[in-house]
Chains A and B, each alone.
Chain A
Amino acid sequence: MISLASDLVSGNAIKTKKKKLAGFRLQEQRLGYLFILPFAVGFLIFHATPALISFVISVTNMRFLSNTADLKFIGLQNFIEMFRDQEVMAALGRSFLYSALYVPIIVLLGLLMAVLINCRIYARGILRTSLFMPYISNMVAIAIIWSVILDYKDGPVNQLLRALGCENPPLWLMGEHTALPTIVLIAAWQGVGLYMVTYLAALQNVPKELYEAATLDGAGAFKRFVHITVPLISPTTFFLIITAIIGSFQNFGIIQVLTKGGPGEASTTMAISVYKASFEQYRMGYATAQAMVLFAIILVFTVIQWKGQRKWVTYD
């Protein structure tokens, strides 16, 4: 009797314990949802809903937001027109060119700077801070400074080039063929601080014992870098490449401040083209179609990167 009772009691106790655990997990889940609720609401209101509205606008002939009297659904006409529009296709080409230049420069430069800063050098802290400063600087201030530095007639860069014997130094931001690469360099200069700091954190997380073991096995600095450092920081590299690609397509601010898409159309990328179609030509439907295509391109790149990471990203 006593054993039966005690069995009953212990069985009940186990059930009660399980119930309490389940209740606790449910509470935890509810708490979790409660914490992500503000973000989810904000995301729905400020990202998902405008994206959906943009898609709807892109399949209409909307011109002015304030005049919808002639508004009608036109299907994919905006997209078809866009792919036939030489100016827009040229802008798309320039966007790809910008990205192709910007991503390798900023990722490699960031890694190089992080490797150098990671060494024991004098005034490392001050160097790190000063290399990060452009990242937090105001875009307009950056534009003014670089306009002075790259001044065709009196700027220090061209003065140096003339002193070295170059009779016709480049026009830099005013040159039809030099404007876009110059903007890429300025943008990379401005953004490299963040990449350097991110890589620095990754480098400092690589276990020192691996370097010691490799040194004992006779590996030189280059081999240690290639076979230990690069694989172990590959998750960071993956993250930074995706960020750089996304950031390279969202280049409206820096181009608008430096050249406004000029000279001519030399630095008009898709972001500038969307702006012009919206706020200069007042063709909202056409502009949002371009924005949708830009979004799709960035998404495709991100998916390709995500799928491809298995081949080259090393996780612990």
Chain B
Amino acid sequence: MKRFPAAKSLAAVLAALMMVGPAAGCQQKQAPSSAQPASQQPSSQQAAPQEKVKLKYAISAKNAAEAGQQNMIKSINETAKNFEIEEYVIPGEVSDFEQKVMVSLMAGDEMDFLYTNDSNVPKYAKANVILPLDDLAKADQFDIQSTFGDSIKKVSNRTYMLPCTRDVHITIYNKSLFDKAGVPYPDNATWTWDKYVEAAKKITDAKGGIYGSYMLDWDTYFTFSAKQKGVSAYKEDGTSNFNDPAWAESMKFFADLGNVLKVQPDIVTYETKKLQWDGFMSGKYGMIVIGSWALAMLEDQKTYPRDWKAGIAVMPAVEAGKKVALSIMGGYSACATTKHKDETFQAIKLLALNEWKIPGAGRVPAAVNLSDADALSAMESMSKSLSFDGITAQQLKDCILSPDIKLVNEKVVGDGMTTINDDIVKEGELYASGQRTLDQTMKELKQKADKAISDDAKK
């Protein structure tokens, strides 16, 4: 009888522990940070004035670790009087990062701003996870339109992103492999896809594991020539335009580079060997056509130590003399979960206007009211960090900021775009691996794209 009270107490304590235990395991929401950026040095933070608002900048782990990013944040924090930018690292890169940011914002995670691009803005705006900036700009007496002009892409007649960087596809080439093969370096005036293939064939030495070309399995590569020809992915009636022969030609050209011409790893090799997006830096590939953001690889000798030098040229043209390059506009948007709207707008305005001036940031300005001197100055900043390769500011300006180059969006943008860009890769892979004919592939792609468009239009 005497044991019961003790057993009862013990049972009550155990039950209480079991209930409290899971609750004790829950933590407060905190930044899922990985790398500690250099900008967060304890000694420099101790003297920070109390009234400075801390702004959370949603960023991927890889970008957070880049020296250019860290310089940029440090510079802005030194200049800003009423706010301080803190990196809020979200796991994942590129599309994984975009997805996680979207889900975090939908779930109500507090973030102040993020770097995005004009193809993601419509989706974020529709989901109400980013704020329209027009009222904030008006309150700040900042004229967005005259500063950024056509760089602004509005959604429902509202501005959601302050563009800060223009990313343009260029050709990066390995000078050592060109020299070894006796191939002259690309000439911007005459650089076409035919010349690209010609050069790639001469450089390729399959037995030695050297290829003349390197391309990734991203949707842009399956569709670049169609986009360069200016063929829209949408018809006027709103359905997809993938039955236009230009899309099939583009798909075939990309697949043939690996399967028929054998100047680059074919898609089966690429996927099964898990080749990486930065594989060009191994020194085994003659050329890569990629966004100018990838110049950061050339700057980073620590991650990519090399003894060979690189050169740059414009994106190969479909027709000689008609330079058309894939492009995307990057910029900053204010998150809907921010609790500091005014400070956030100040931060993204500062970044949009000044980021290109910061050494090592490696970004090309989007502002239209830049003088020629300013534009060259922006390129000089990049050129300094590319001094190992001897790439000059003029060369950068010719490949990225030249008015001769017509820019087209690298992504399909419109209804159903996420699914369509995804399906381009899936169907493209089936065709490039020889499991589907070209006709079957384009028919499937058209059907799926039409469905994605109609699904997106449903309310």
Contact = CB atoms under 8 A, between A and B. Distances in A.
Contacts of B15: 34-35, 37-38
A199 B234 CA distance: 58
A67 B126 contact: yes
In which size bucket is the chain A interface? 35 or more
A152 B429 contact: no
Nearest to A158: B272
A175 B418 CA distance: 24
A264 B135 CA distance: 44
A153 B127 contact: no
Q: Is the interface of B mostly helix, strand, loop or mixed?
A: helix
Contacts of B8: 27, 31
Contacts of A12: none
Contacts of A70: 459
Interface in A253-273: 262-265
A147 B419 contact: no
A63 B336 CA distance: 17
B3 interface: no
B274 interface: yes
Interface in B349-381: none
A35 B11 contact: yes
Contacts of A38: 15, 18-19, 22
B301 interface: no
A167 to B, nearest CB: 14
A137 B238 CA distance: 48
A41 B271 CA distance: 46
Contacts of A150: 272
Given A35-B15, A264-B426, A282-B123, A153 B128 contact: no
Contacts of A154: 273
A205 interface: no
B272 A263 contact: no
A301 B22 CA distance: 33
A267 B127 CA distance: 29
B345 to A, nearest CB: 20
B422 interface: yes
A99 interface: no
Contacts of A58: none
B47 interface: no
B22 A64 contact: no
B4 to A, nearest CB: 8
A282 B269 CA distance: 33
Interface stretch (B100-108, B223-231, B247-255): B100-108
A264 B272 contact: no
Contacts of B126: 63-64, 67
Given A66-B129, A279-B103, A175 B419 contact: no
A64 B127 contact: yes
Please classify the interface of chain A as helix (H, G, I), strand (E, B), loop, or mixed, using the class held by over half of its residues. Answer: loop
B426 A153 contact: no
Contacts of B123: 282
Name which of A70, A176, A263, A265 has the most chain B CB atoms within 10 A of its CB: A263
B426 A262 contact: yes
Interface in A137-195: 144, 147, 150-155, 171, 173-176
A210 B75 CA distance: 82
Contacts of A264: 426-427, 429-430, 436, 444
Contact of B451 (A65, A69, A87, A279): A87
Given A64-B128, A66-B105, A263-B429, A152 B11 contact: no
Interface in B424-459: 426-427, 429-430, 433, 435-436, 444, 448, 451-452, 455-456, 458-459
Nearest to B416: A281
Contacts of B436: 176, 264
A183 to B, nearest CB: 15
**Which of A173, A262, A263, A264 has the most B CB atoms < 10 Å from its CB?**
A264
* Shortest Cβ-Cβ A-B pairs, 9 listed: A64-B127, A65-B106, A38-B18, A67-B128, A66-B106, A34-B15, A38-B19, A151-B272, A264-B430
Interface of A: 27, 31, 34-35, 37-38, 41-42, 61, 63-67, 69-70, 87, 144, 147, 150-155, 171, 173-176, 262-265, 276, 279-283
